[in-house]
Structure 1
């Protein structure tokens, strides 16, 4: 296994000084929207990963495509790194300025540009968040289904190829982005794709940029697929005697072809945490949180089938939430799971890993990971979009105890190695960033990663776009 531990990545930290001439040009153009204040730089030099890296040299807030192009063109001229920044919710070190440079914040590019309700498409700027978009669409009877939990920016979600709780029915960002506006490493504004639902015109540049983690250019606008709000929606929780019973239920649901919209696993540790955080009073055992979309008749049929399957595996206390308020309360608690878990061990840091495996191998993958972490004695929690074989395991460590970090990283690597052995992937939705570069080689192979490097060098010959991420140059 060639996967490098994170401590082996950070010695590559080799900042490129920000030339005074470039800083002067940025300050002359952007005024107060270009800042070198330490507090702001530190905010933009920290994400939810366990890494500590010095902050970027400057932060620039762009508001138009042309302003993004100007920043990138200056960076190209001076050979300075540019790190795109949206909402700061990434988990694998994507935002860290490992070679210094400029954090390019697009959060003010937050306009919904065009809604084509008749075509079920929308075009937005990259800083629009998923909640902002859905709040705008609700009165038109439409919604955008990709829900990674955090209120992430849509540009960031495309850059990391995000998915989330609805992926089992609606797919991921890969399936739901029709076209992009991107600023290339040369500072040029380019369009990819269109509003058409399919195309055979040339290379699929849209898919090239979706999942590129800011290493090939800056996504500034997106054209996305929309969906009608379902006629009926019902959510349910069901409790199980073990994680294995909950996972086996999920496998049966998928294999029987039930078109469930969401199927989320919370282990007992996570339920305990959200109970404390949100005062829910849920039974503290392994739990599936499910949602059904469709007509009233189809929703009732789906729910009856799932309830019958759950009983076969010891599922109990099948509780329904049919009002929007009740459903919102449950899903809000699910989305708070990460922060809720952190609060169970004050002052801790979280080393989190996600993997995705074929659905038939999911129980094997989760059960082995649970055994290992229980034996190690590290506090942990599990959540998962188990309907598509994806789950997350968070190790809660004391940052003052290096031995705990070492143990967490060892367990994380064992979990990922197992997923690869089961013909899965090292990350279902977090992306590679800094944390999983070694496993990308294990999964894709040296030849495929070499091809990725060739693309990177061709599109970004001076390695200014978010350098140090996905693979080493």
Structure 2
């Protein structure tokens, strides 16, 4: 694993805090080694830094009570959803208390007429959409994993639908949050728009638990489309596929999903899923709307693709056929794992302006080859975001070092293209060294905000910023 920086521990404060919380929460306060390691677990190569204890609150007031105790004794406090983050967000580099929100999982209210709802942070994406289905509604943000809404809010998650429906920052209307002094605040009302003061909602969305503990989320919802169409098309080069992407966006085609698999990824899913796709760059798409509109959108994309050399274009509204068309993307993770059995799959992401996407992917693949690594690319290319999975033998220090070099070079490349070192994985610990390079003095302003809202640095220390 890649070593993570440890921060100074407040041993006396941690011991006192644990005694108080144990008495208050009883069996909902856990200190077993396995559960602590689970709550330090990250789905990446950063080493596990477990908390000293895990507590399971049921209400916002209980979260506030936990924060007050931790604030009094200056003990770190880390919010935990289901642990699907990729950059070390839930590690505890200074020890402290992990607050597991899984038992705060109530859907508090749904307002169908207003297309919004209010949920607790432990509600998962799939749980919410199952609840909404009979009302003809859905929540569109899909990061892949069945993440909690609280975690998705904290990391400003997005995913495959972002090209049409935006990211969490576009779909969170208001928040309830506990501040560092234990106050419970509400950042906004349910009104569709407001110009009332500072936009605290947007400040907390994406703050990764470093400014407050999110205890309630008001979300924007969408009506389930009358029809959905899926399509796929192969291209001779990544550049040709990206040309089709740019033209589709510029023509105003309201595509819902637009995913790229590079040649190596297509070869992997062919082998794993017994498909016979042409082993060249592949675009997978989804269109939402009426029967007539999705047919029109599909036909328009087919014409665009043909102009830049696309072949094998097909589309369908049949549910079973749609699943078949998307099988290559759905099986991607498992397909990558069978390429080099025993190696770990290390995922990283960047995002660049769409006009630089083809060049960035090409140089990404050149760097993989130069460093003697095995890597594959998939991307939410409608918004310029792509993911590279590097297969690494974690026992091979030289290979780990080369993988670290690759990640650093890719981050710097994206920044040099007026892009970002992270399109949707967040900063956490893993991307922190690159934030200053990307934003410069703006990180000093972030540090000032952190100091004002969390003067003792108890909220998720060591993430985004250095303290």
Normalising to structure 1: TM-score of the pair?
0.94
When residues 436 and 29 of structure 1 are mapped into structure 2, their CA distance, relative to the original with a 3 A threshold, is same
Structure 1 residue 280, shift from structure 2 partner: 4.8
Are 2:462 and 1:452 aligned?
Answer: no
When residues 243 and 104 of structure 1 are mapped into structure 2, their CA distance, relative to the original with a 3 A threshold, is same
1:14 equivalent in structure 2:
8
Structure 1 residue 317, shift from structure 2 partner: 2.0
Q: Which runs of 5+ in 1 are unaligned?
A: 1-5
Mapped to 1, the partners of 2:331 and 2:77 lie a distance apart of 31
Check whether the contact 1:351–1:409 (CA below 8 A) recurs between aligned residues. no
Structure 1 residue 23, shift from structure 2 partner: 1.5
Mapped to 2, the partners of 1:128 and 1:335 lie a distance apart of 23
Where 2:401 maps in the other structure, the secondary structure is helix
1:351 equivalent in structure 2:
346
Worse-matched range after superposition: 136-145 or 326-335:
326-335
Normalising to structure 2: TM-score of the pair?
0.95
When residues 327 and 16 of structure 1 are mapped into structure 2, their CA distance, relative to the original with a 3 A threshold, is farther
| Count of residues in correspondence between the two structures | 465
When residues 39 and 235 of structure 1 are mapped into structure 2, their CA distance, relative to the original with a 3 A threshold, is same
* 1:202-252 deviation per Cα after TM superposition (whole angstroms, max 9, x unaligned): 111000100100001111110011111111110112122332222222122
2:427 equivalent in structure 1:
432
Worse-matched range after superposition: 229-238 or 203-212:
229-238
Where 1:107 maps in the other structure, the secondary structure is helix
Mapped to 2, the partners of 1:28 and 1:464 lie a distance apart of 21
When residues 336 and 461 of structure 1 are mapped into structure 2, their CA distance, relative to the original with a 3 A threshold, is farther
Where 1:20 maps in the other structure, the secondary structure is helix
2:101 equivalent in structure 1:
106
* 1:397-434 deviation per Cα after TM superposition (whole angstroms, max 9, x unaligned): 10011111211121222212121111111111111111
1:208 equivalent in structure 2:
203
Where 2:8 maps in the other structure, the secondary structure is coil
* 1:122-181 deviation per Cα after TM superposition (whole angstroms, max 9, x unaligned): 111111111111111111111111111111111111111111111111111111100001
Structure 1 residue 345, shift from structure 2 partner: 2.4
Check whether the contact 1:150–1:335 (CA below 8 A) recurs between aligned residues. no
* Residue in structure 2 matching 1:417, options 412, 433, 436: 412
1:143 equivalent in structure 2:
138
Mapped to 2, the partners of 1:178 and 1:222 lie a distance apart of 8
1:391 equivalent in structure 2:
386
When residues 294 and 426 of structure 1 are mapped into structure 2, their CA distance, relative to the original with a 3 A threshold, is same
Structure 1 residue 374, shift from structure 2 partner: 2.1
Mapped to 1, the partners of 2:444 and 2:238 lie a distance apart of 39
Residue correspondence of structure 1 range 243-258 to structure 2 within 5 A: 243-258=238-253
Q: Which runs of 5+ in 2 are unaligned?
A: none
Mapped to 2, the partners of 1:27 and 1:276 lie a distance apart of 52
* 1:285-319 deviation per Cα after TM superposition (whole angstroms, max 9, x unaligned): 32111001111221111111111111223322223
* 1:179-211 deviation per Cα after TM superposition (whole angstroms, max 9, x unaligned): 001111122211111111111111110001001
Where 1:289 maps in the other structure, the secondary structure is strand
Check whether the contact 1:53–1:98 (CA below 8 A) recurs between aligned residues. no
Where 2:255 maps in the other structure, the secondary structure is coil
* Residue in structure 2 matching 1:85, options 80, 83, 87: 80
Structure 1 residue 378, shift from structure 2 partner: 0.8
Structure 1 residue 471, shift from structure 2 partner: 1.0
When residues 203 and 251 of structure 1 are mapped into structure 2, their CA distance, relative to the original with a 3 A threshold, is same
* Residue in structure 2 matching 1:122, options 112, 117, 123: 117
Mapped to 1, the partners of 2:334 and 2:73 lie a distance apart of 40
Mapped to 2, the partners of 1:66 and 1:427 lie a distance apart of 34
When residues 31 and 346 of structure 1 are mapped into structure 2, their CA distance, relative to the original with a 3 A threshold, is farther
RMSD: 1.8
* 1:368-408 deviation per Cα after TM superposition (whole angstroms, max 9, x unaligned): 11111123221111111000111111211100111112111
2:295 equivalent in structure 1:
300
* Residue in structure 2 matching 1:167, options 159, 162, 165: 162
When residues 88 and 200 of structure 1 are mapped into structure 2, their CA distance, relative to the original with a 3 A threshold, is same
1:472 equivalent in structure 2:
466
2:129 equivalent in structure 1:
134
Mapped to 2, the partners of 1:24 and 1:82 lie a distance apart of 15
Where 1:469 maps in the other structure, the secondary structure is coil
Mapped to 2, the partners of 1:111 and 1:279 lie a distance apart of 41
Residue correspondence of structure 1 range 62-73 to structure 2 within 5 A: 62-73=57-68
* 1:250-295 deviation per Cα after TM superposition (whole angstroms, max 9, x unaligned): 1221122211111011123333444455555544432111001111
